[in-house]
Amino acid sequence: MHFAIVGAGIVGLCTAWELRQRGHTVTVYDPNPVSEASFAAAGMLAPVSEVVWDQPNLYPLMQRSKKLYPEFARSVAEASGMDVGYLTSETLVCAGDSADRVTLNELTELQEHIGQVHRLSAREARAMEPALGPGVVGAVHIPGDHQIDPRKFCAALLSLLGDAVVREAVEDVDKLTADHVIVAAGLAQIGGVPTLPVRPVYGDVLRLDVPEYLQPLVTRTVRAVVRGRPVYVVPRGDGTIVLGATSREDSPGVSAEGVHQLLRDAHHIIPGLWQCTINEMTARARPGSPDDVPMIGRVSEHVTVSTGYFRHGILLSVVGAKLTADIALGKPVDPETQRAIDPFRFKEHS
C-alpha cells in the first residue's frame, strides 16, 4: 500500500519507518520537519520516573514502548549508519527539601509497582553523582529509565526516508492521492479531519555546554522536585546538558520566569551548573490530550490520526508507530488498548 503521512515529527517519522519495514511505500509531508515538539524534547525514556497518580491507561503504553525501543533504535542506527543517541544511562530523582521528600516518597510507592526503584539517602545519592549539592535531602535511583537524543534519532529517520519526505504543508487530506492517509501533525488541525481536543502545553528547555574541568558534570539523568516544582538535567553523550522543563498553557515564547525557575531549581540540586554556558533556549508546545493518553485511530475509511502524545511522545513514538501502522492496515489491536487510545473517547467529541 502507499501511505501519505502528514507531519514529520517523531511520530510521523517513526510511523513511516515502521510501514517501510513492513514493505509499504510512504510519502511524508511537512514544510519544516522536526521543528515542533520533537525539536525541543529532552528525550527521556522514563516510564517509571514519569509516573503520576491516576493514569492507568498510560502506564502500560509507556512500558510497552520502553521495551520496544532498544530494537527499534538499533534498527534505525544500523540501517542509517548514524548515531541515534540512545543511552542506557540511568535516572536519579532527588528531593530538594523535606517536603519534597514526602512527595517523592509517596510517588515512589506507586513507582515500585511499575519498575525497579531504589530509595537512597542524600549521602548515597552523592556517592553516585558527586556533583549533587547540599540541597539534596534524599533520592530514588531508577536504573531502567534511559534516554535518546530526539534530534539525532529524527535526523537518522529523515536520512533513511530521503526523497519520501516532501517539504510541503497539507491543507486538506482529501487532496492527497494515497491508499491511506495518516495524520501525525501534532497540534495542527488539517482540513478533512474531525477536530480533536488537542491543546498546547508549552515548555522551556535550555541546552548547556559543560566546561572541560567539570566534565562529566553528571553521568545519569538527574530529575528533582524542588519546592514542589519538577526540574531535570539530562547529560548527552557529547558532554552537553539539556535542562527542562516548565509547563504552561499560555505564552509560546521562551519565558523569562521559566528560564529563571529552571536555573534556580537546577542550581539547588547541582550547584556546578552555574559554571556552564547556555548555548540554546527553546520553547515548544507538547500536543496534550484531555487524559494525557495519545489519540490513535481511524477517523474515516481512508484516514488514521496519531496525535496527543503530550509529555511522553518521544518515549511513546515507537509503540505509537506500531499501533498506528496496525490500525491503518486494518490489523487487530487488543480491545483494552483500542479503547484507551480511541480518538473519539472523550464524551463531548463522540
Ligand X SMILES: Cc1cc2nc3c(=O)[nH]c(=O)nc-3n(C[C@H](O)[C@H](O)[C@H](O)COP(=O)(O)OP(=O)(O)OC[C@H]3O[C@@H](n4cnc5c(N)ncnc54)[C@H](O)[C@@H]3O)c2cc1C
**Applying CB under 6 A, what is the total number of residues that bind ligand X?**
43
- CA-to-CA distance for 264 and 229, rounded, in angstroms? 11
Smallest distance, ligand X to C-beta of residue 10, A? 5
* Helix (H/G/I), strand (E/B), else coil: 146: strand
Q: Is 85 in the site for ligand X (CB under 6 A)?
A: no
Question: By C-beta, is 135 or 150 nearer to ligand X?
Answer: 150
Query: Mask: binding to ligand X, 268-287, rule CB under 6 A, as x and -?
Result: ----------------x-xx
> Is the CB of residue 18 less than 8 Å from the CB of residue 321?
yes
Residues 20-49 close enough to bind ligand X by CB under 6 A: 29-30, 32-38, 40-44
- CA-to-CA distance for 30 and 8, rounded, in angstroms? 6
Q: Is 300 in the site for ligand X (CB under 6 A)?
A: no
Burial class for 70, CB neighbours closer than 10 Å (0-12, 13-18, 19+): middle
Q: Is 315 in the site for ligand X (CB under 6 A)?
A: yes
Angle made by CA atoms 117, 121, 126, in degrees to the nearest 5: 100
Q: Given the rule CB under 6 A, which of 6-14, 73-81, 267-275, 326-334 is the region that contacts ligand X? A: 6-14
**Interacting residue with ligand X among 4, 6, 51, 296 (CB under 6 A):** 6
Burial 199-212 (b: 16+ CB within 10 A, else e): ebbbbbbbbbebee
Q: Is 340 in the site for ligand X (CB under 6 A)?
A: no
Closest residue to ligand X in the complex (CB): 313
Q: Is 244 in the site for ligand X (CB under 6 A)?
A: yes
**Residue 37 — φ and ψ, nearest 5°?**
-55, -40
Angle made by CA atoms 341, 345, 349, in degrees to the nearest 5: 130
Question: By C-beta, is 33 or 96 nearer to ligand X?
Answer: 33
Q: Is 7 in the site for ligand X (CB under 6 A)?
A: yes
Q: Given the rule CB under 6 A, which of 92-100, 212-220, 297-305, 311-319 is the region that contacts ligand X? A: 311-319
Q: Name the nearest CA neighbour of 145 among 69, 217, 218, 213.
A: 69
Residues 136-175 close enough to bind ligand X by CB under 6 A: 169-170
Q: Tell me which DSSP letter residue 236 carries.
A: -
Q: For every residue of 110-124, which 3-state class applies, written as one string?
A: HHCCCCCCEEEEHHH
Q: Is 84 in the site for ligand X (CB under 6 A)?
A: no
Q: Is 327 in the site for ligand X (CB under 6 A)?
A: no
Q: Is 17 in the site for ligand X (CB under 6 A)?
A: no
Q: Which three cell numbers stand for residue 346?
A: 472523550
Q: Where on the chain is the footprint of ligand X (CB under 6 A)?
A: 6-12, 29-30, 32-38, 40-44, 169-170, 184-186, 188, 190, 203, 205, 244-245, 284, 286-287, 307, 309-315
